[in-house]
Amino acid sequence: MSDMAGTNDARKPFVREAPLAALPPPVRTDGVLAWLQRNLFSSPLNIGLTLVCVALLVWAVPPFVRFMLIDAVWDGASRADCLVTDARPAVGACWAFVIERINFFTYGFYPTPDRWRVDLFFLLLAVGIGWLAWLDAPARRWALVNFFVVLPIVSFILLVGWPAIGLPVVPTEQWGGILVTIVVSVVGIVFSLPLGVLLALGRRSTMPAVRLVCVVFIEFIRGVPLITILFMASLMLPLFVPDTWSPDKLLRALIGIALFASAYMAEVVRAGLQAIPRGQYEAAQALGLSYTRTMGLIVLPQALRITIPNIVNSYIALFKDTTLVFVVGIFDFLNTIEAARLDPKWSTPVTGSTGYAFAALFYFTLCMAMSRYALYMERRLDVSANR
């Protein structure tokens, strides 16, 4: 500093002698224009980016809307209604195809007179989930018991059948569509949580053999793709059991999915367990609680509570992964779309896109609903933690 001051004309320190003129007030601080300027046109780079984005939207959105809604065919009986003709130069999505096949997409080949059973199952499931997800619901303690114990038993009787009470047996080969997708997801959801909790506890156990078994199981399942697990379940499982058992095809896939989901759930739960301060364990021990009581009354309720958002997120992943049962020949929702798409009755250039658009709508709505719920829980937990 000092030698710089010595170089040119300044024995004088740098001191401003007259005050600066006041800056003019900002032109706009609120209103639409100010918002636009601040968020879209604040610098040359941003102006360029904005223009690129607008161009992209103009290029993509109108054709999309035209395909999905404006040019779409809403009623019709066969492919002829969705083909390009002179009278109809542009054909968008063939929704008539989806409308005609909606029962097939929902129930697969489930016998028509028994479809009320599937409807009832959907209804019970919706009530069960609603009861569980609504945090201020009455008798919420029973919602868990209902969802994890009562609902699976009732659903099994309802869907598979029980001739003794007048419900004829429907073999799983006839199940299909959304029914199978939902069944696979729910089985994954119902079994993965308890199994995942057990595995997570086992992984943190002080008993070396227990820990080793859990670590090997979790790391093995997480290290291989779900497809290979499904292959293993559908091809190797029948070899592992006596010939007379020959497990049902859907059951094999369900076992694969449940094992896969529980390994991932174990890691989610473990993260929750690790977040519980050591003092909680020690306090429980000081009160003389046994291991089961420490875990069941003190640690797990807290750990699972803070893990709810992550549990829901892993359910989203599981729900998307259920599409893979397609590969081992289970007739899930995506598979019914593929089958219907290839059906000559409706084979047009737009049938495939329409089917995929419908599937996308279905998966997107449900995944989005789950992720919003996870977000809501996260906020709510944040608030209660900061109280």
Q: How far is the CB of 222 from another protein (least distance, A)?
A: 7
Per CB under 8 A, which region of 111-119, 156-164, 234-242, 374-382 contacts another protein?
Answer: 234-242
CB of 210 to another protein, least distance (A): 6
Q: Which is nearer to another protein, 165 or 207 (CB)?
A: 207
Residue 30 touching another protein (CB under 8 A): no
User: Which residues from 302-321 bind another protein, rule CB under 8 A?
Assistant: 316, 320-321
53 touches another protein by CB under 8 A: yes
Using CB under 8 A as the binding rule, whether residue 274 contacts another protein is answered as no
Cβ atoms of residues 313 and 373 within 8 Å: no
User: Residues 180-209 vs another protein: string with x where CB under 8 A?
Assistant: --------------------------xxxx
213 lies in the site for another protein, by CB under 8 A: yes
Q: Which is nearer to another protein, 7 or 206 (CB)?
A: 206
The only residue of 189, 273, 324, 340 in contact with another protein, by rule CB under 8 A: 324
Angle (CA) 345-350-351 rounded to 5° is: 40
Q: Which stretch binds another protein (CB under 8 A): 161-169, 183-191, 225-233, 254-262?
A: 225-233
Q: Between 239 and 268, how does the x/- string for binding to another protein read (CB under 8 A)?
A: xxxxx-------------------------
Binding mask 341-370 for another protein (x = CB under 8 A): x-------x--xx--x--xx--xx--xx--
Instruction: Work out how close the CB of 18 gets to another protein at its nearest, in angstroms, rounded to a whole number.
Output: 27
Residue ranges that bind another protein, judged by CB under 8 A: 39-40, 42, 46, 49-50, 53-54, 56-57, 206-210, 213, 219-220, 222-228, 231-232, 235-236, 238-243, 316, 320-321, 323-324, 326-327, 334, 338, 341, 349, 352-353, 356, 359-360, 363-364, 367-368, 371
